[in-house]
Amino acid sequence: MSNPSPSSRAALPTQPPIPFRDVEILHDLSQKQLRALALAHTPFCSETALGNINKIARNKARMAACTYIIDRKGEPGAYSHKTISPADAETLIAGQAEYVQQQGSLIAVEAYVGLGERAMPVQWLYTREAANIAGMQQILSFPRDQVETPEQLAAPFKPAFRLIYTPDYFVDMPKRQAIIVDLDNYVTYIMGPDYFGESKKGALRMLAALHYKNRGLVMHAGAKAIHYGGHDLTMGILGLSGTGKTTTTFSKQGALTQPIQDDMIALWPGGEVSVTENGCFAKTFGLTEEAEPVIFRGTTSPSAWIENVYIDEHGQPDFFKRLLTPAEVARLREVLVGTGAPAANVDAFIRGEVELDAIVEGGIPKDGWDFVAWSENGRSIIPMSAVENAADLHNIPQLHSLGILNRDEGADAAMPGIVRFTSPEQAAGYLMLGETSKTSAAGKDRGKTRSPFTQPFFPLAHSLQAARFSELAATFTDTTMWLMNTGYVGGDAKGVAAGAALKVKIRHSSAMLEALISGAITWTVDPDFGYEVVDLDAPENAALLELVPAEILRPHKLFEKQGRLDVYKRWVETMNRERRAFLEKFSVPAAIVDAVVRR
């Protein structure tokens, strides 16, 4: 991939000069300087015994409910987010500008989302209390010298996008927070949240809008380069948070697998893939070196930043911490109260006036008592330089395989371990459905869900994603499209413990993907849904069946053994009915609906 040409650079949006008078702009800060600023100015930010920096944030996830797109045409249906009037947006933006003036300084991170001709120059501006977020964003961005020519490096930076982030500026809006997205001018204003994901997705949201206008599609997908049988290929993996997207991206198939991206890629005609980030933003709950060695070693390296990770009294991260004891709450009282826990409840728990059993049901705390259960949405930001055996991001092979993860769970969990789609329209339909079970990243709001293309931050009407993907898929050459269940069959963790359900384990996923990539699977058409599933009777699939239980590959077998075929049949009926309703709600083209729903 070559450096961007002057002509392609001229076609990008342009930002005016930074609109603040008498505000010091802190340019070109090093990671060392950003760490020092974070420790001095970012609340509840500390250095761990491992030498990396951990921030305990008020927010444990992105605030989609507080995100608004400025609607200047009076067409709210054109967007997937809430909208806000220009007048109301300007009032909030003016208040943020006044806050910035009072603070007197901004940290600037001027770098790129992506590499090569698709690279996008972005200027992120942060008040000092967001120094940790600036440090994280700098890691995930590509520095100018990896993208620009010597002539461009000698000139002032020319951003196409701008993002202004003020975590401690609270507004008169729900939850006292607002993310205002100006897609007409490619500027995002973040007021109140202190979670890194808002910075990361703020730029990617604008990128999704611009790339869509230019015939591409930004996808919430990991990617890895696979060298198999003398060929180089790229595999893309879509999935909502918690479905195993990062885990699948970093697991190995074939002789050699190299991670490309863990979160976002862009697709273009002909199967071209462009990258977005120079590192990894990974979940840390349950992280072990045995199961996820690359992510574990990257997370525990001094170069990483971590967020909302439990740190014990010795300064060591604990990736399995869940419920806190009164003594642990007492040690963390300042942090817990400072990040929103009710002081009276905290003190009552410390004094032993309230027992865990009275305030936690099914592992989920009652309102006002969230602080007793440590967030499972801890995160690490790992530079690509700390990712072992990473791919060459300047030379990405064409797309050969694209799949979506569905972490199925529950008594009627019946998604096969792996299915292959028979047409671009069928693939577009299932990607549009984005089915999974919500996990810890959703907090209390758990259960089965659907999210178009698993990308709730795509800013334009979601139906556009399905139409664009089917257009792009029709131009792909020899690209296999699939779905994989990374959750359960016939139940959940309790069902597995009772011997009534099966867990799709990492080793099962790796075996299924390796068989898929190598062309070793003999398929048959599923009679209920029309996609292809593993043919259990084919001798060619014997090796796969030694590694993956037949009941995972064809879940109806488990329901049949248990005398619960009536549950399976009701699931089939429910899925067909709900899928049609969901796709039609978004005005998805009829050809896509018909490819998904059989009856």
- CA-CA distance, 536 to 552, in Å (whole number)? 11
Question: What is the structure's pLDDT at 136?
Answer: 98
**Are 144 and 263 part of one and the same domain?**
no
Q: What pLDDT, on the 0 to 100 scale, is given for residue 253?
A: 64
478 assigned to some structural domain: yes
**Whether residue 514 is found in the same domain as residue 576:** yes
User: For 117-139, what is the mean pLDDT?
Assistant: 97
Distance of CA 116 to the CA centre of its chain: 23
pLDDT tens profile 262-305 = 999 999 999 999 999 999 999 999 999 998 898 999 999 999 99
User: Which tokens is 463 given?
Assistant: 């139906």
- Out of 2-11, 186-195, 297-306, 492-501, least confident range: 2-11
Task: Round to whole Å and give the CA distance between 571 and 489.
Answer: 12
What size, in residues, is the chain? 599
pLDDT, tens digit, 9 for 90 and up, residues 489-516: 999 999 999 999 999 998 999 999 999 9
- If asked whether residues 200 and 263 sit together in one domain, one would say no
Among the listed ranges 173-177, 182-186, 466-470, which one has the minimum average pLDDT value?
A: 466-470
Share of the chain above pLDDT 90, in %: 86
Mean of the per-residue pLDDT values of the chain: 93
DSSP per residue, 222-259: EEEEEEETTEEEEEEEE--TTSSHHHHHHS--SSEEEE
DSSP of 358-382, one letter per residue?
A: HHEETTEEPTT-GGGB--S--EEEE
Mean pLDDT value across residues 140-160: 96
Q: Are residues 200 and 229 in the same domain?
A: no
E strands present in 368-442: 379-383, 399-406, 418-420, 435-438
426 part of a folded domain: yes
Q: Residue 345: pLDDT band by 50, 70, 90 thresholds?
A: very high
Residues 6 or more apart from 434 whose CB is under 8 A from it? 238, 240, 404, 450, 451, 452, 453, 454, 455
Same domain, 193 and 250: no
Tokens of 578: 């709900």
Q: How far apart are CA 5 and CA 147, in angstroms?
A: 10
Percentage, residues of the chain above pLDDT 70: 96
Under a CB-based contact definition with an 8 Å cutoff, are residues 303 and 269 in contact? no
Q: Indicate the pLDDT class of residue 2, thresholds 50, 70 and 90.
A: very low
Position 445 in a domain: yes
pLDDT of residue 480: 93
CA dihedral sign, ordered 530, 536, 539, 542: positive
Domain that holds residue 248: 218-278+393-596
> What's the CATH code of the domain at 149?
3.40.449.10
226 lies in the same domain as 145: no
The answer to whether residues 420 and 541 belong to one domain is: yes
* Most confident of the following: 155-164, 388-397, 449-458: 155-164
Per-residue pLDDT band for 414 (boundaries 50, 70, 90) equals very high
User: Any residues with CB less than 8 A from the CB of 202 and at least 6 apart, and which?
Assistant: 163, 165, 179, 181, 188, 190
Do 187 and 268 belong to one domain?
A: no
Helix (H) or strand (E) holding 348: helix 343-350
For the whole model, what pTM was predicted? 0.91
CATH of the domain at 566: 3.90.228.20
| Domain final residue pick, 182, 214, 246 | 214
Q: How many domains does the chain have?
A: 2
The last residue of one of the domains, among 214, 243, 262, is 214
What pLDDT band is residue 134 in, cutting at 50, 70 and 90?
very high
The answer to whether 303 and 386 are in contact (CB under 8 A) is: yes
Backbone angles phi, psi at 317, to 5 degrees: -65, 140
Is the residue at 358 inside a domain?
Answer: no
Question: What is the rounded CA–CA span in Å between residue 453 and residue 463?
Answer: 10
pLDDT of 116: 93
Q: Is residue 289 part of a domain?
A: no
Angle formed by the axes of helices 31-41 and 131-140, to 10°?
150
Per-residue model confidence (pLDDT) at position 230: 79
Q: What's the rounded mean pLDDT across residues 33-52? A: 98
Residue 271 DSSP code: G
pLDDT beyond 50 at 9: no
Per-residue confidence (pLDDT) for residue 16, from 0 to 100: 97
Q: Give the domain-ending residue among 214, 243, 260.
A: 214
Are 27 and 135 contained in the same domain?
A: yes
pLDDT at residue 119 is higher than 90 = yes
Q: DSSP letters along 274-329, please? A: EE--SEEEEE-TT--TTT-HHHHHHHTSTT-EEES-EE-TTS-EETT--BPPHHHH
Residue 491 lies in a domain: yes
Whether residue 121 lies inside any domain: the answer is yes
Same domain, 225 and 161: no
**Interval 548-573: pLDDT, tens:** 999 999 999 999 999 999 999 999 99
Query: Both 411 and 524 in a single domain?
Result: yes
Q: How far is CA 395 from the centre of its chain?
A: 23
Q: Which two tokens stand for residue 543?
A: 């090796």
Q: Is residue 303 a part of any domain in this protein?
A: no
For residues 142 and 111, the answer to whether their CB atoms sit within 8 Å is yes
Mean pLDDT of 3-21: 71
177-191, 216-230, 430-444, 481-495: least confidently modelled range: 430-444
Question: Residue 253 and residue 202: Cα distance in Å, rounded?
Answer: 33
- Which of 160, 276, 164 shows the shortest CA–CA distance to 216? 276
Dump pLDDT digits (tens) for 522-554: 999 999 999 999 999 999 999 999 999 999 999
Residues 543 and 591 placed together within one structural domain of the fold: yes
DSSP 3-state of 398 = coil
Which of 524, 529, 532, 533 is CA-nearest to residue 580? 529
Q: 3-state DSSP call for residue 76?
A: helix
Q: How large is the average pLDDT for residues 55-75?
A: 95
Q: What is the pLDDT of residues 451-489, one digit of tens each?
A: 999 988 899 999 999 989 989 999 998 899 999 999 999
Question: Can you give the pLDDT at residue 7?
Answer: 35
